[in-house]
Amino acid sequence: MNTYTFANLKGGSGSTTSAVSVAEALIQEGKSVLVVDLDPQGSLSRWVASRSGSSTALLSGDFDAVEIESVEQGNDARGTFDVVTANRSLAQVDNVRAAKVAKRIERLWDSSSGYDHGLIDPPPSVGALVLGALMASDGALAPVEAGPGAMDGLKDTMQLLNRTGATPLIGAFACRVDVRTTLDTQVPDGLLDELGAVDDGGTSFRTFVREAIAMREAQTAGELPGSYDPDMTAVADYRDLTSELLTLNKS
Q: Where residue 46 sits, what CATH number does that domain have?
A: 3.40.50.300
Three-state helix/strand/coil letters over 131-198: HHHHHCCCEEEEEEECCCCHHHHHHHHHHHHHHHCCCCEEEEEEECECCCCHHHHHHHHHHHHHHCEH
For the four alpha carbons of 171, 184, 240 and 71, in that order, the dihedral sign comes to positive
Is the distance from CB of 118 to CB of 3 less than 8 angstroms? yes
What per-residue confidence (pLDDT) applies to 180? 93
Cβ–Cβ < 8 Å for 173, 204: yes
For residues 153 and 159, give the distance between their C-alpha atoms in angstroms, rounded to a whole number.
10
Q: Which residues pair with 139 in a beta bridge?
A: 4
Instruction: Look up residue 23 and give its amino acid.
Output: A
Contact (Cβ atoms closer than 8 angstroms) between residue 47 and residue 54: no
Q: What is the pLDDT of residue 71?
A: 87
Report how far Cα 225 is from the mean position of its chain's Cα atoms: 15
Q: Range of 123's domain?
A: 2-250
Element (H, E) at 5: strand 2-6
Number of domains in the chain: 1
User: Would you state the pLDDT for residue 147?
Assistant: 78
Q: Taking the model in full, what pTM does it have?
A: 0.95
pLDDT at 251: 64
pLDDT at 150 (0 to 100): 72
Q: Look at residues 4, 12, 35, 10 and name the one whose alpha carbon lies nearest to residue 224.
A: 35
- Chain mean position to CA 169: 13
* DSSP character at residue 37: E
Partners of residue 34 on adjacent β-strands: 82, 118
**pLDDT value of position 24:** 95
Per-residue pLDDT of the chain (251 residues; tens, 9 = 90+): 999 999 998 877 799 999 999 999 999 999 999 999 999 999 999 999 999 999 999 999 999 999 999 987 655 555 668 999 999 999 888 778 999 999 999 999 999 888 999 999 999 888 999 999 999 999 999 999 987 777 888 999 999 999 999 999 999 999 999 999 998 999 999 999 999 999 999 999 999 999 999 999 999 999 999 999 999 999 999 999 999 999 998 76
